[in-house]
Amino acid sequence: MEAARVADNLAAWVKSEVGEASARGVVFALSGGVDSAVVAALAKSAFPDSHLALLLPLHTAAADVDDARRVVDAFGLHARTIELDPVYDALARTLGAEPEEEASSDLVLANLKARLRMLVLYYHANRSRYLVAGCGNRSQLSIGYFTKFGDGGADLMPLGHLVKSEVVELARCLEVPRATIEKPPSADTWRGHTDETELGFTYEQLEQYVLGSLEDNAVHERIRTLRRNSAHKLRTPKLPPPISAMGS
């Protein structure tokens, strides 16, 4: 992959898509991970002044917030930090959950976090007439590894055709901070979470599956199961047949 050329093409694509939507720029969540850092660099290239990086800590480790701020400084981003702990805690308790259980791998609460962040992104997108840029890559999208109407809720997915290793290659080309490139990928769903621990396989194995070279049958079957179970995430809501075709 010619990383520099890919970066230029993706930034140009982002700019074109925003223009076609008669929008003014892009807003995105900055987590401190490599995917969002690459999206940040592309957004800054496409819209030097009309972009907004939102840092949305939600019972997030201080080190992750520091990583996100390093990316802000590295690229000179227009950024805003919005602490979501009190909103999330109140919402979780209203729904009958216990938000204090941060060490718990409760996927329902994890999805609630992602959807709350999406609400904040679209609030600012609407206010500024921006589009929301998502940070999902091809590896994640191939198995539906995102929250429906959460981090999957976006207008653009600039990394959607790049597997994880290509995102890392692009990050190095764009001079994303080294600590961000090397940190274990995590969706920040609960304390100590990493993507690979939750998935049960590595991004390298997932990439091998996507590119058709995976030889581990057990991992192959687990990925097939994930793809099957998440197929609903990858399509628009289903409609019933037209009334004229439903019979009497």
Q: What is the pLDDT of residues 65-91, one digit of tens each?
A: 999 999 999 999 999 999 999 999 999
Q: Are 52 and 23 in contact (CB under 8 A)?
A: no
Which residue in the block uniquely carries the two structure tokens 């939600």?
58
More confident residue, 241 or 9: 9
Residues of the chain by 3-state class (helix, strand, coil), percent to 5: 50, 5, 40
Structure confidence at residue 243 (pLDDT): 77
> From residue 199, how far is each of 62, 186, 225, 226, 233 by CA, in Å?
24, 11, 12, 9, 17
In this prediction, residue 165 has a pLDDT band, given cuts at 50, 70 and 90, of very high
In this prediction, residue 226 has a pLDDT band, given cuts at 50, 70 and 90, of very high
More confident residue, 241 or 12: 12
Indicate if the pLDDT at residue 104 is higher than 70. Answer: no
pTM for the whole thing? 0.92
CATH number 3.40.50.620 given to 3-236: yes
In this prediction, residue 247 has a pLDDT band, given cuts at 50, 70 and 90, of low
In this prediction, residue 193 has a pLDDT band, given cuts at 50, 70 and 90, of confident
More confident residue, 147 or 98: 147
